[in-house]
Structure 1
Amino acid sequence: MLSKSKFSCLFILPFLVVACGQDDSDDGSERSTPVTITEAVVQPVEWIERSIGRLRANSAPNVAAETAGAVAVIHHDAGDAVEAGERLAELDDQVQTIAVNSARAELRRLEALMANERRRVRRLTNLREQQSVSQDQLDEAETNVESLEAQIQAAQSALEDVEYNLARTRIVSPVSGIIQERLVSAGDFVNRGQVMFELVSPAALRALVPLPEHLQNHVEVGQPVRLWVPSRPDDVHDFEVTEIRPQVGSGSRAIELIVDLDNPGGWRVGGSVSAEIVIERRDGLVVPPTSVVRRPDGRVVYVIEDSRARERPVEVGLRDADWIEILEGVSEGERVVVDGAGFMTDDARVTVEEGGDAR
């Protein structure tokens, strides 16, 4: 039979177990979540479309022979930088030199005949005044002078033509640039119009930038464009759209923007170019991207009111790496949760961490 003391211990034990199972740390206070906050601010925002384009030379002339002949000398090869007017090659000019000498001799012969005929006209004029010759003789001499004048003009034109052909045996660069390709060698016979050199002028470039077809109503000539080359991602330059090609690419279904520009330095013809096309600029209310949280019912932002996080459904607009535009749901100057927003619930108590207020 149990003693009275042992029975008392067995009766008290369950109550002790229950008491020990209670959380003695629960003093009735509500837990507070540490967060960082910032203010919603108005700042310029941009709708930007990014693309990768290619660079072409805005001036890439082909240098062709302007007269026929054999190539006598090559002065420059592919890769050489040349100045406008610099000699690239020379053709054998023997035929052209003979033609020039012949034309000059013919002109001197006609000029000698003209001088003699004019002296004859002067003599006949004096004799006619003395009634020593007939008027027909004088008229014939004057007609001969007019005929020789016409022949001299024709001879001068012929001389200019052969001198032009002689000068064209010296092949010169029409622009300052770089020889892309040499298409002839010494000894080759070239005909008039045959291409001898391909040049590119890297000083004037043209960027061809594709954009999706659905953006064709959002771009126009004069639209701001930022360009840079992959080798210099921090060297960004501002330009404007020069032209929009009217035809949509049959394979890519893209429109193509053209930007004419002076080479900023070191940009190479045929290389790629990164582009940011500014579709729209305006002032917008923005918050950090981490402040906007996606919930089953949509996007929300947590606004701080009386040390509590109040959940606000929001409508977002433009976005960038550092901000998201808020179209509805938050007002300028309201404080929103930044770090910790993803773990918030509506009406949760918060504590702003030291240095966590970005205002």
Structure 2
Amino acid sequence: MKTSSAKLLILLLLLIITGCARDDEDDSSERRTAVTVKVAESRELERREVSVGRLETTSAPAVAAETAGRVARIHRDAGDQIEAGDLLAELEGQPQRIAVNAARAEVRRLQALLDNEQRRADRLTRLAERQSVAQDQLDEATTAVEGFEAQLESAQARLEDAEYNLERTRMISPVSGRVQRRMVSAGDFVSVGQVAFELVSDEKLRAILPLPEHLQDRIEPGLPVRLSIPARPDEAVDATLTELRPAVGERSRAIEVIVELDNPGSWRPGGSVKGEVIVSRHEAVVVSPASLVRRPAGQVVFVAEAGRALQREVETGLRTADHVEIVEGLEAGEKVVVDGAGFLSDDAAIEVRDEGAGS
């Protein structure tokens, strides 16, 4: 009986000793939070002002009749795409053709008279060299040649004018683009200067972007601008701010900036355009947005050092979907906790599961 009691007492002592050892082991091992870290990097950031505006054409010529006549044929209508040099309409050119034929006949007649008088003058010149003709006869022939030359020049000018008027019976597009409006129909009689077509060129465009009035001292011509349209938001065009309109809108209290550009392809006047005016560029330390944690002290990040998470209060600046600028409180190259940052406190023990190279 005494032997059994002794064994039971030894067993109880062993159990107590084992439990105390386990308690000591649990106290000595601290729980570590699994986290991922990335290195804070230095990057050039752009301070942008974003605006949605409209596209306009820089060229919208009106094609008018340059000679009077009746419209014979219409070759282009409103909405048609055109190229520079395309025929828009033709006028009946019979009066102009008659004038051309008459002018050509007059040129031929005067050319024949001039040639005949020139031969006579040449013959009298040779006779005068042998003193076989009176000088006044030679002078008369020379004067006649000069008179016919002047008449021929005048007739050639009238021929050019008649040919010009005949060519002007063809209304030609001066630009590539679209027909905005057609104001004449076949059979209409048009006079000189009467507008027949309104065109819109889409080769050169102008983006009009409204910006808040308070930015007028920070915006100036020459700043880079990134433009895109809703149909193709990923196809950005880099341009330069061309000018500022001096007046402030009475209703919107906004200034308008103007950006002129070559049409990149399918942009249409009258459409919407998104513009990002790059006001400045500067180097900054950036981290992932997931690294920022709000605490009673303000916004903080946790820097990973030797298995510990050290809390840093930081001042932030520019934000994007990918990164946040750290204005103060962190240096480039420091390792910052990303995933798991929200579960940490200052000087918490961490276990780094993944380490990236940047924000």
TM over 0.5: yes
The 5-angstrom pairing of residues 1-359 of structure 1 reads: 36-122=36-122, 124-125=124-125, 134-237=134-237, 239-241=238-240, 243-251=242-250, 252=252, 253-263=254-264, 265-294=265-294, 298-305=298-305, 309-339=309-339, 341=341, 346-347=346-347, 349-352=348-351, 354-355=353-354, 357-358=355-356
Residues 139-195 of structure 1, C-alpha deviations (whole Å, 9 max, x = no match) = 233212211111111111111011101111011122333222212111222222222
Structure 1 residues 297 and 190 mapped into 2: Cα distance closer, same or farther (>3 Å)? Answer: farther
Aligned partners of 2:242 and 2:260 also within 8 Å: yes
Q: Is the 8 A contact 1:205 1:262 kept in 2?
A: yes
What is residue 19 of structure 2 aligned with on the other side?
none
Within 2, Cα distance between the matches of 1:338 and 1:110?
96
Alignment check: 8 A CA contact 1:213 1:248 kept: no
Shift of 1:260: 0.8
- Distance across 2 between alignment mates of 1:37 and 1:56: 49
Residue by residue over 1:304-325, the C-alpha shift from the partner in whole angstroms, topping out at 9 and shown as x without a partner, is: 4565554433222222122111
The residue number in structure 2 matching 1:10 is none
Q: What's the CA shift string for 1:202-238, capped at 9, x where partnerless? A: 344333333334334444444333222112222333x
Count the aligned residue pairs. 330
Whole-angstrom distance in 2 between the partners of 1:199 and 1:317: 48
Query: With structure 2 as the length reference, what TM-score do the two structures score?
Result: 0.78
Whether the 8 Å CA contact 1:117–1:144 is kept in 2: the answer is yes
Using the size of structure 1 for normalisation, the TM-score is: 0.78
The whole-number CA distance in structure 1 between the counterparts of 2:118 and 2:346 is 115
Greater shift in the superposed pair: 154-163 or 322-331: 322-331
- Residues 236 and 172 of structure 1, relative CA distance in 2, 3 Å threshold: same
Judge conservation of contact 2:221–2:241 (CA < 8 Å) in 1.
Answer: yes
| Structure 2 unaligned blocks of 5 or more | 1-25
CA contact (8 A) 2:35 2:353 kept: no
User: Does structure 1 retain, via aligned residues, the 8 Å contact 2:227–2:239?
Assistant: no
The residue type equivalent to 2:170 in the other structure is R
Which segment is superposed worse, 243-252 or 304-313?
A: 304-313
**Given that residues 77 and 179 in structure 2 are in contact (C-alpha distance below 8 angstroms), is that contact kept between their aligned partners in structure 1?**
yes
8 Å CA contact 2:224, 2:241 repeated in 1: no
RMSD of aligned Cα (Å): 3.2
Unmatched runs of 5 consecutive residues or more in structure 1: 1-26
Identical counterparts, % of pairs = 55
